[in-house]
Structure 1
């Protein structure tokens, strides 16, 4: 067979001018949608957040550098600019460090209990029948939907010194006298009640979220670990928890942010007048501003609280972006 008669591969088709134009339009459209479209779509939400949150935050920062009381509030007098005097008073006040230590201690204990118990409930939900799981989810959704003030008042009634159900039940035990027992006379017992309210309300979010995460754990890995001789605890520590780690970090960080700003539970159980042993940063700021009529000092305490939370919030955002990059 001659060279002329030998078969040869057909030449590659070159894109025509209309095809090139369509490709150029697609590239421009993708570049536009990837650059300006997200900003345009989120601009209304950003403007709304700036109006609802930005202005109060700026106003609070400005007020923290001023001395403002009832005379300035109702007497139409301009507030006096005092510079960093409010912050100096805060950082030289021993009460500030006690309140911060109390807030941090409560946050660590409550978040640890909430995450551990929530993880336990989530693991239990994967072991029960689907019908029981649905009942558990519905019950926890009711708990989660209950307003904080309503839940606080319910717990307050349960531990009431005169008519509390908890005192009545404990008093039924032989050799135990709990009649007219005050749970808030001792700060440890009082904080136990407050922590119970917060943990009880926080478990549903953790449990339902981690239950969704557990559905993504491959059964093949657990079966392989079991075949290799791993116990239930070893499979949990070596297989399940490493897969749930990103989700655990997110829910733990969110719980820290929420619990660090504790206010309603303390304010409710102490009837709007928390004693010194029950003051946290949020209640201390509110009491200073609206009960002592020192709005500049109260704003300064609030600014310090926000600054302390910024570190946790930055960590949370970093984890969110990291998970987004992985996806």
Structure 2
């Protein structure tokens, strides 16, 4: 009897074995996803990092020769170009403006959706879904037609309102400032629905009793928002902010489409378009630009990512 009792595993040992089995099962279930992520994200990332330190061009692929390691030459050449700082400043500026407008308007629309009736909420949701469903290229073409120099709706409306022909053949896309005004409209119009729907879903998870209790205690609308709603929504808003920073740093389709309709590329390039226009087959230089884009996005998002990690730990 003593031997059998001693051989029987203790509760701690059984729990340890169960945890090992659960961990093994989890890794087995996650293995396909990890492999896919490694192949689709990890391998291209490693390739881009390696190519950014070489003179890799299309001729190496055609001739079957190995590229030479050039160290930081690609980065130095790009950073020291006369137009590169302007392109970076333009990209960051557009990102800041569009991200701020998207976040503010998206949150306001989400709050509005909690205040209106069911019929109006459904109508607003359908409108947001339609704006969200339109591909960026299609939206850029449509807005490009609206601001068209000869046949644009905006020029016709302004002439009708002013009763003159002062806006006839006005080139909205030729001027960089009005070009980016049109670009901002396109980007904000297409991105607001995602922020609005996500914020609205998050607002629905806040206990109504907590807000009603604060209202009974005499808290105003802004006090309830900053004291109850915002702290509860901070992880959601932080995640949305990081996503918008990343997406708005990677604007390509809208910018390139508007440039094709009359914008001057040299005055309206952003980093993704600047990368595309470096030349076909310049893999080393374009990889270096891609790495710089990643580093800039990480530097801008670092504070928000660190704050999100702190909120998760707490």
Q: TM-score scaled by structure 2? A: 0.87
Change in 2 beyond 3 A, CA 1:65/1:142:
same
Q: What is the CA-CA distance between 1:96 and the residue it aligns to?
A: 1.8
* 2:192 corresponds to which of 200, 203, 209: 203
Choose 137-146 or 149-158, whichever is displaced more.
137-146
What are the within-5 Å matches in structure 2 for residues 131-280 of structure 1?
Answer: 131-175=119-163, 177-271=166-260, 275-280=265-270
Which residue number corresponds to residue 296 of structure 1?
284
* Structure 1 position 128 matched with structure 2 position 142: no
For residues 164-207 of structure 1, what are the alpha-carbon distances to aligned partners after superposition, in whole Å with 9 as ceiling and x for unaligned? 11221122112552111111122111101111111111100111
Using the TM superposition, give the Cα deviation of residue 118 of structure 1 relative to its aligned residue in structure 2, in angstroms.
Answer: 0.4
Which structure's CA Rg is the greater one? 1
Runs of at least 5 residues in structure 2 that lack an aligned partner in the other structure: none
Preserved contact between residue 60 and residue 299 of structure 1 (Cα < 8 Å): yes
2:90 aligned with 1:102: yes
Gaps of at least 5 residues in structure 1 are 1-15
SS at structure 1 position matched to 2:148: coil
The answer to whether structure 1 residue 117 and structure 2 residue 105 are counterparts is: yes
Q: Is the 1:167–1:181 contact (alpha carbons within 8 Å) kept by the matching residues of 2? A: yes
> For residues 138 and 175 of structure 1, what CA distance do their matches in structure 2 show?
36
The answer as to whether partners of 2:52 and 2:285 remain within 8 angstroms in 1 is yes
Deviates more, 1:147-156 or 1:271-280: 271-280
Structure 1 residues 101 and 34: alpha-carbon distance in aligned structure 2, compared to 1, 3 A threshold: farther
1:254 and 1:316 in contact (8 A); partners too = no
Deviating runs (4+, > 6 A) in structure 1? none
Give the number of equivalent residue pairs: 308
Corresponding position of 2:79: 91
Of 39, 42, 45 in structure 2, the residue corresponding to residue 51 of structure 1 is 39
Describe the superposition over 1:42-71 as per-residue Cα deviations: whole angstroms up to 9, x where unpaired. 111111121122222222222222224454
Query: How well do the aligned residues superpose, as a CA RMSD in angstroms?
Result: 2.7
CA distance in structure 1 between the aligned counterparts of 2:22 and 2:305, rounded to whole angstroms? 21
Which structure is richer in relative contact order (CA contacts within 8 A, separation 6 or more)?
A: 2
Could you say what secondary structure the match of 1:270 adopts?
helix
Report 1:34-73 matches (<5 A): 34-73=22-61
Hey, what's the Cα distance between the residues in 1 that align with 2:248 and 2:256? Answer: 14
Aligned partners of 2:53 and 2:74 also within 8 Å: yes
Distance in 1 (alpha carbons) for counterparts of 2:145 and 2:62: 38
Contact 2:150 2:168 in 1 (8 A): yes
How many Å apart are 1:221 and its aligned residue? Answer: 3.3
